[in-house]
Amino acid sequence: MANPFHVVLVEPEIPPNTGAIARTCGATQSPLHLVGPLGFRIDEHAVRRAGLDYWDLVEIHRHESFETFEESDPQRRIHLFSAGASRSYLEAAFEPGDALVFGRESVGLPPVLLQDRQNVWAIPTIGAVRSLNLSNAVGIVLYEALRQNRAFEDTFLG
């Protein structure tokens, strides 16, 4: 895909989640952006192990803040994901090059990032569970974005 989707994690806390997300990014040629302070060192064993042998396939970018991420490409469309959003990600129209932004495992995205934004989406759940594991949420949204843009039409899946 010429313009891949950008996966953005704001202050991720759990090493195996970030490792699993990195592996998904490698499988989809999606750059991974790590924003703000991390709850771990990127070279921690748990992070590396979750990504297995795929780290060399992942394009990783570090940003000190969300503002510096936005400044890195001011034209990039941004979609933010929050369990408290009122619209489903299934209503979103994703375009190649878009950024898919996810927050910390414990508290999600800071409220200030969600203010005055149009593209704020939730992954609906049924029952009492209010949100999904971060790596699962990234996979669900990223593959929906890829599906909408027919990224796998020429890929043999058998």
Residue-wise pLDDT tens digits, 58-83: 899 999 999 999 999 999 999 999 99
Residue-wise pLDDT tens digits, 41-56: 777 565 566 555 677 8
Q: Please check whether residue 63 lies inside any domain of the structure.
A: yes
In CATH, what number is assigned to the domain containing residue 79?
A: 3.40.1280.10
- Is the full-model pTM beyond 0.85? yes
In sequence order, what are the beta bridge partners of 104? 108
Q: Please check whether residue 153 lies inside any domain of the structure.
A: no
Q: Please check whether residue 93 lies inside any domain of the structure.
A: yes
Q: Please check whether residue 96 lies inside any domain of the structure.
A: yes
Q: Please check whether residue 157 lies inside any domain of the structure.
A: no
**123: containing domain:** 6-148
Query: How many distinct structural domains can be found in the chain?
Result: 1
Q: Please check whether residue 155 lies inside any domain of the structure.
A: no
